[in-house]
A and B are shown apart, each in its own frame.
Chain A
Amino acid sequence: MKIALTGNPNSGKTTLYNAITGKQEHVGNWAGVTVDKKVSRLKESLGEGVSVVDLPGAYSIRPFTSEESITRDFVKNEEPDVIVNVVDSTNLNRSLFFTTQLLELNIPVVVALNKSDIAASKTEIDIKKLEKKLKCPIVPTVALKEKGLKELIKKSVEISTCKKQENAFSQLNNFDNIEKQDKERFKIVNKITSEVETKKVKSNEETLADKIDKFVTNPIIGIGLFVLIMTTIFNLSINTLGANIADFLVGIIEGAQGSLAEFLANAGVNDFLNSLLTDGIIGGVGAIMGFLPLIMVLMFFLALVEDSGFMARIAMIFDPLFKKIGLSGKSIIPMIVGYGCGIPGIMASRTIKDEKQRRMTALLTPFVPCGAKVPIIALFTAAFFPEHGYLFALTYLIAFAVIILVGLLAKAITGADDVKSYFIIELPEYRIPSVKRSFLKMLETGKEFIIKAGTIIVLCNTVVFIMASFNFKFSLVEDAINTSILAKVASPFAIILIPIGLGVWQLAAAAITGFIAKEEVVGTLAIVYAMGSAINEDFELTDGLLLQETMSITAVAALAFMFFNLFTPPCFAAIGAMNSELKSKKWLMNGVIMQLVVGYLIAMIVYQVGTVLAYGKLGEGFMASVVILAVSVLYYTKLARDAKREKSISLSEGIAS
């Protein structure tokens, strides 16, 4: 049996879905979180052999956004046995519009009157009366507290045997014009709600939430609040709470590493194998795992913010700013999702209606430092700038500035004129964020991370370790020196990186492996610099490393390296996500090239200018960098001029015609 969950955005479909399937799909308390349908089996305790499909939210079966058309296509093509229409009881009137459309499909419908606890304080709904009018069963639910779910499933199973749905509104079929039909539809819905609902609070009166909103959506206060919240979150994750947990974890890993090495040595295991296991795998993976607590704490707090309903307000706050780069406030939502992982962030750009804006958003979202980049930022800020704890949070601010800057530059090239696109976002109820849910989300992040670590990263580390330990004649060489395979392979790339201060094969190798998974940059560094799990804030523990690092690169170069990894294209998986959203190989290629150029140029400028400012001398490859910069600027100006000319041509053509 197949149950389809449909309903308005934000009605609680995904919460309900999670509750009845035991999954942990992303819930965000803002419209546009679910962009694709999700399928799973019903919990065993609730029923056997039942599959549940969570569809993206829709206000109407006639599609406006691409998510709404998924609903329409699914319901029309895949023929679920039962449609559960999740209705937000606090907005009955608007919700019923969609309900009346669903009732016409001749598939049994059950209405889940969700958020019935919140609704109880605002309004009273006569369920029996409504059932008579809609001619379908109605079950009050509170998905968040898992109330009414058993009853809901029971009713769904019951009516699935009916195979038919009586259409209470067949008179609507008499209208040939859709507009007229829909107007009549609303008339009917208005009548129903006036008969069935008794409002305790008038909906257009100012509420406490409205007062808060007036305050929060003031651009200056709003952005200030946003920055404050984000900085606090980062501080908690990186400098205090997260760091303490990380120290603890790293201590354990180091201990394990040491004992394992001893054990293997005593057991007479081959030295190389011993080293592979302890330094390569445990050391490399351990280096990354040490950052897991930081990421998890970060995710926890972000989930709290998402759950509170603040996100939609953030979109509203940033709308004026984003309009300047040819986007709208909606584009910030994928970027905030991108703080966790770039892939769902890029996918979330689907909620943006305008094609050009959607593509721009998909290409700008990867600039947001995702969870995988956290180890890089944390490592480099701690190692090279230990006195500057604020640098971590500052990096995120810089990333945001980069997004705005690139957006402005891109606008000039793509000739994105002020398209007539309107901004509208639903402002859901504020609610006290659920600690339990955020905690579960955090665990989910941790689980995904560990799985990734246990597979791709272990594999990658093994390969890197082997390449660093052997030379091309396949004889063992000293710990990762210049004659190893890895060194030989990475050296040509290192030459390209000279103008950005990183003409060292170790760093080139790390940057390359970063394309497989950004966490791998740290993993590779751990191997090539033989650091093992000794990567923590206390670099004094490994003098050799400190010496080597200072020999190879300066603090400025370290900063350049960090920016290089942050702003170049993310991992292949993310490029894959971009490919699906951009739907155009041309855009994908241009986008990836753009990201490569941006990352390179930023690193280059930081290195060259920084070296002059901080050390009073010219950096390596200075002449080359000047040439590169000059060429880039010239090429960009050409592109911008071409775009301007094209624009005026099409304008004059428009006038002429």
Chain B
Amino acid sequence: MRNSEVVKLGIVKSGQNKRRGLNMKLTDGKKGVTYTVKSINGNNEMNTFLFSLGCFEGEVITIIRKRGSGYIVSIKDGRYGIDKELAGIIEVEKYIN
């Protein structure tokens, strides 16, 4: 396969994945919706920190507000302001009650 074809396939696949809800990040999420955390893909320290707040695999997170300049999320009973970069390392899936 040629390089451009590989890239195109990658984009198509990623779009499919997004629609299937695979590899979905918090940045793909919608305001007011609750998600279940699948994994945290940051550096060790950020992963540990988020963990101590209760943000890790299996726990829920809700987007209160979503903007390019920043998100407000609800984790356990707390509210946190985070930036887009941090939202990008939180992998989620739709919360099923």
Contacts and interface: CB of A to CB of B under 8 A. Distances in A.
B87 to A, nearest CB: 9
A217 B52 contact: no
A206 B75 CA distance: 13
A139 B13 CA distance: 56
B45 A424 contact: no
A607 B6 CA distance: 62
B65 A214 contact: yes
Which of A90, A92, A204, A320 is packed against the most chain B CB atoms within 10 Å? A204
B77 A423 contact: no
A204 B31 CA distance: 11
A236 to B, nearest CB: 29
Interface string A119-148: 000000000000000000000000000000
Report the 4 A-B pairs with minimum CB-CB distance, sorted nearest first: A204-B62, A60-B52, A316-B81, A59-B52
A420 B85 contact: yes
B12 interface: no
A219 B67 CA distance: 10
Contacts of B65: 210, 213-214, 217
Interface in A52-72: 59-60, 62, 64
A186 interface: yes
A319 B79 contact: no
Interface of A: 59-60, 62, 64, 90-94, 97-98, 182-183, 186, 203-204, 206, 209-210, 213-214, 217-219, 312-313, 315-316, 319-320, 323, 328-329, 353, 420, 422-427
B72 A217 contact: yes
Given A204-B34, A217-B65, A217-B72, A426 B45 contact: no
Given A60-B52, A64-B48, A217-B65, A94 B78 contact: yes
B62 A316 contact: no
Contact of A210 (B49, B53, B79): B79
A505 B64 CA distance: 60
Interface string B71-97: 010111111111101100100000000
Contact of B54 (A97, A422, A426): A97
A328 B70 CA distance: 12
A216 to B, nearest CB: 10
A599 B35 CA distance: 51
Which of A94, A206, A328, A422 is packed against the most chain B CB atoms within 10 Å? A422
Nearest to B49: A64
B74 A213 contact: no
Contact of B72 (A59, A315, A422, A427): A427
A178 to B, nearest CB: 9
B3 interface: no
Interface string B15-55: 00000000000000000101000000011011011111110
B74 A319 contact: no
- Tell me what chain A mostly uses at the interface: helix, strand, loop, or mixed: helix
A206 B64 contact: yes
B64 A424 contact: no
Nearest to A313: B81
29 contacts: A59-B49, A59-B52, A60-B51, A91-B76, A91-B77, A94-B53, A94-B54, A94-B76, A183-B57, A186-B56, A206-B64, A210-B72, A213-B65, A214-B64, A214-B72, A217-B65, A217-B69, A217-B81, A218-B67, A315-B81, A316-B70, A319-B83, A329-B83, A422-B46, A422-B86, A424-B80, A425-B80, A426-B80, A427-B78
Contact of A64 (B45, B70, B78, B79): B45
Nearest to B58: A183
A92 B76 CA distance: 9
B77 A217 contact: no
A424 B82 contact: yes
B81 A92 contact: no
A206 B81 contact: no
Nearest to A62: B48
Given A90-B77, A420-B43, A206 B86 contact: no
Contacts of A217: 65, 67, 69-70, 72, 81
B69 A213 contact: no
Nearest to A206: B64
Contacts of B79: 209-210, 213, 426-427
A182 B74 CA distance: 21
A204 B85 CA distance: 22
A206 B46 CA distance: 27
A60 B78 CA distance: 16
Nearest to A10: B78
B72 A94 contact: no
Contact of A206 (B32, B53, B54, B60): B32
Contacts of B89: 422
A98 B76 CA distance: 14
Nearest to B60: A204
B72 A203 contact: no
Contacts of A219: 69
Nearest to A92: B77
B97 to A, nearest CB: 12
A312 B54 contact: no
A186 B54 contact: yes
A427 B70 CA distance: 13
Given A320-B69, A329-B81, A426-B81, 12 more contacts: A93-B77, A94-B76, A182-B51, A204-B64, A206-B64, A210-B72, A213-B79, A218-B67, A422-B42, A422-B82, A422-B89, A425-B82
